């Protein structure tokens, strides 16, 4: 390729600046108060964290440790390492009273949300890969029932919106089976992503030369042995780049679990916006945090692709 004229790069920069300036101008028009200075505390809390009493009870103080005996009976709870104790020994406290403060840096709501998002994505990815492998093998199976079941699964899931599936899992299955928001979220995301993984695996298997299966079978290996030792390892290598792309989608799709009683990164953002009325700063920050996750993943994927091209 001929090296492009650097003037085009300048045009790109100019256009981006222009769009940014336009946005800024628009916020001035609506008298928006930018308060970027408040964003760091959504990420990290440095002022110390209040420790609240979960129930009504009597407290016993031993140095930095507080023991709470519930008034209505039950196991006493201990709260170790309270740096600033704000109750005295023998005092009766009510639920949500402050027991004391922990000093030091604690993660703010956005970082906590990011951690929840990461956990949901990771668990969903594991189950999506398992589901997708089973369904993908079903798609190429010689058994018509397995083939049909896999096809129905893939078509049903790919033909309906994820949000609707979430509503079904959370409000219907979640109520019937009494699932927590986390379990329901992981279930919905795994089932959804699994359908796409199944198609990736199917095309990976179909991309392995027919002669590979033939050679393995001619040596006396069973269909399953040939799949496991010969076809699947090669199919996985071909499937890695699209699978990585699908994991990036999974991270983004996980923002929909915020409809469940589950404080992921998006829900955390919504809660902060509701109490602070600074939507632009918060949503830009949230978007950047997602971008960081997906960006890191795609850099890793690009490295992986390069490495596989060499092998």
Partner 1 sequence: MTKTIAPDAEVLIDAREVSKRYPNGTQALTKVSLQVRRGEVVCIVGPSGSGKSTLLRTINAMESISSGEVTMDGISVHHPKTNLNEVRTHAGMVFQQFNLFPHKTALENVMLAPMQVLKMPVEEARERAGKLLEKVGLAEKAQSRPSQLSGGQQQRVAIARALAMQPRVMLFDEPTSALDPEKVGEVLEVMKQLALEGMTMVVVTHEMGFARAVANRVVFMDGGELVYQDAPEAFFSNAQHERLRSFLGQVLPH
Least distance from partner 1 to the Cβ atom of residue 199, Å: 23
Q: Verify binding: residue 35, partner 1, rule CB under 8 A.
A: no
Interface residue with partner 1 among 154, 230, 286, 293 (CB under 8 A) is 230
Q: Which stretch binds partner 1 (CB under 8 A): 55-63, 79-87, 95-103, 204-212?
A: 204-212
Interface residue with partner 1 among 222, 291, 307, 308 (CB under 8 A) is 222
Q: Verify binding: residue 308, partner 1, rule CB under 8 A.
A: no
Q: What order do you get walking across the sheet with 92-93 strand by strand?
A: 77-79, 65-70, 57-62, 92-93
Interface residue with partner 1 among 86, 97, 234, 298 (CB under 8 A) is 234
Q: Verify binding: residue 229, partner 1, rule CB under 8 A.
A: yes
Interface residue with partner 1 among 221, 248, 259, 273 (CB under 8 A) is 221
Interface residue with partner 1 among 218, 284, 302, 305 (CB under 8 A) is 218
Q: Verify binding: residue 144, partner 1, rule CB under 8 A.
A: no
Supply 293's token pair.
């996750």
Q: Give the rounded distance of the alpha carbon of 49 from its chain centre.
A: 26
Q: Rounded to whole angstroms, what are the CA distances from 21 to 181, 258, 287?
A: 41, 32, 19
Helix axes 265-276, 279-310, angle to 10 degrees: 160
Q: How far apart are CA 250 and CA 246, in angstroms?
A: 6
Please name the helix (run of DSSP H) or strand (run of DSSP E) that holds residue 51, with its range, or none: strand 49-52
Q: Verify binding: residue 209, partner 1, rule CB under 8 A.
A: yes
Q: Rounded to whole angstroms, what are the CA distances from 235 to 10, 120, 134, 216, 305?
A: 43, 27, 14, 15, 14
Interface residue with partner 1 among 38, 158, 237, 307 (CB under 8 A) is 237
Q: Are 181 and 170 in contact (CB under 8 A)?
A: yes
Residues in binding contact with partner 1, number by CB under 8 A: 18
Q: Verify binding: residue 81, partner 1, rule CB under 8 A.
A: no
DSSP string, 57-69: EEEEEETTEEEEE
Which positions touch partner 1 (CB under 8 A)?
A: 209, 211-212, 214-222, 225, 229-230, 233-234, 237
């Amino acid at each position: 390729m001929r090296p492009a004229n650097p003037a085009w790069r300048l045009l790109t920069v100019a256009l981006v600046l222009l769009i940014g300036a336009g946005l800024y101008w628009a916020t001035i028009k609506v008298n928006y108060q930018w308060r970027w200075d408040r964003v760091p505390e959504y990420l990290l809390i440095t002022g110390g964290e209040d420790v609240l009493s979960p129930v009504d009870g009597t407290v016993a103080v031993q140095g930095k440790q507080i023991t709470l005996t519930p008034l209505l009976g039950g196991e006493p709870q201990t709260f170790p390492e309270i740096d600033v104790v704000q109750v005295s020994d023998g005092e009766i406290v009510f639920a949500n009273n402050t027991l004391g403060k922990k000093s030091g840096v604690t993660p703010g709501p956005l970082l906590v949300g990011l951690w929840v998002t990461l956990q949901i994505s990771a668990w969903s990815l594991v189950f999506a890969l398992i589901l997708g492998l089973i369904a993908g093998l079903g798609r190429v199976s010689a058994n018509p029932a397995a083939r049909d079941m896999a096809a129905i699964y893939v078509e049903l899931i790919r033909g309906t919106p994820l949000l609707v599936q979430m509503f079904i899992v959370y409000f219907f299955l979640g109520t019937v089976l009494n699932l927590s928001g986390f379990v329901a979220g992981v279930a919905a995301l795994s089932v959804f992503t699994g359908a796409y993984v199944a198609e990736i695996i199917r095309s990976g298997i179909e991309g392995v030369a027919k002669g590979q299966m033939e050679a393995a079978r001619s040596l006396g290996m069973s269909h399953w042995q040939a799949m496991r030792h010969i076809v699947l390892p090669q199919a996985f290598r071909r499937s890695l780049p699209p699978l990585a792309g699908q994991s990036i989608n999974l991270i983004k799709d996980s923002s929909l679990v915020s409809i469940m009683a589950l404080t992921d990164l998006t829900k955390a953002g919504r809660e902060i916006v509701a109490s602070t009325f600074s939507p632009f700063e918060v949503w830009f920050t949230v978007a950047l945090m997602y971008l960081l996750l997906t960006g890191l993943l795609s850099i890793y994927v690009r490295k992986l692709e390069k490495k596989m091209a060499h092998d």
